[in-house]
Amino acid sequence: MHSSERQLLKALFPEGNPVYSSDNPTVKRSYTAASQFKSSVSELVSNLMEKSPNYIRCIKPNATQKPHSFDSDLVEHQVRYLGLMENIQVRRAGFAFKQFYEEFLVRYKMLSKDTWPVWKASARGGTRKILQACRKVEECEFGRTKIFIRDPKTVFLLEDKRKRLLHIIATIIQKIFRGYIQRKKYLQIRNAQVCIARHWKGYRVRKDYLQVREAAIVLQKHWRGKMARTELWRMKCAVKGPGAVGVIIRYWRGYKVRKHYGAILKRKTLNYQKAAAEMIIRLFKAYLNYRFLVFIRDHLPTPSPIDKRWP
């Protein structure tokens, strides 16, 4: 057909094209309807094999679709028609529940104190501990990788206990989390209070230190001023001591001369000019004697008798 001159026939039958022959494996042939159906079926089968399908059967309580109305004959007919009685008999003859040890342990490990919160041994041993805590070991069979439970009431009991314990566990988690939040807030407030107290204490200590430092500086200033004034007074006394003595002597002699001159004026026994001349001569001689004695005091020769500086 592909060798026909009609383009439609060539498109409908591409198998005759030598390009798509088996001798040319590099060229991919186009998908046909059969190949597409085959690939879809294989993909569906692979997906089903990877899953664990559960079948849900719906039963109508009445034919009128009204609430709070139950027709027992209609329900019995549906149960018999769907074959639920036979399924229940088969289930009772075998095991109603089966599950891998790891999945069972993860789901029900809170039912035993030995497996909660962490179980470090084998999953089969943890499963046995859980069933021993629930006192349901006799109703179960332990396989190589799975646990088999015969009575569905055992599964319902495990689920009810799990629901109650999940509520308690959620409460504990909330309590711990709220406690963590409150402790975090408390630590933040405490750290802030410690930081504020540290800075406040540092400020007070620095302020007290500055006050003590200023007081010490004032005391040092006054003490050094007193010592400087004392030293200045001592130096003045040491430098001006001999000059002060001479001034005192001069004033004293002047006072004696004025007193003696006043007595002479009162007595009026001698002539004023003669008495004044004599007084001046006497005072001049006394001054010369004083100068001579001062010179000797300042230029005393050595105690040696051969010293030529002796007068």
User: What pLDDT score was predicted for residue 202?
Assistant: 92
**Cis geometry, peptide bond prior to residue 117 (ω within 30 degrees of 0):** yes
> Across the 311 residues of the chain, what is the mean pLDDT of every consecutive 10-residue run?
70 64 52 76 81 75 85 86 73 69 81 77 79 73 78 78 85 91 93 93 92 92 90 72 68 83 66 71 88 78 66 58
User: What pLDDT score was predicted for residue 20?
Assistant: 55
User: What pLDDT score was predicted for residue 271?
Assistant: 61
User: What pLDDT score was predicted for residue 235?
Assistant: 74
Q: At 191, is the secondary structure helix, strand, or coil?
A: helix
User: What pLDDT score was predicted for residue 179?
Assistant: 93
User: What pLDDT score was predicted for residue 132?
Assistant: 77
Assign 3-class secondary structure to 247-309.
HHHHHHHHHHHHHHHHHHHHHCCCCHHHHHHHHHHHHHHHHHHHHHHHHHHHCCCCCCCCCCC
Q: Which helix (H) or strand (E) holds 100?
A: strand 97-100
**What is the distance, to the nearest Å, from the Cα of residue 233 to the centroid of all Cα atoms in its chain?**
66
User: What pLDDT score was predicted for residue 192?
Assistant: 93
Global confidence as pTM: 0.39
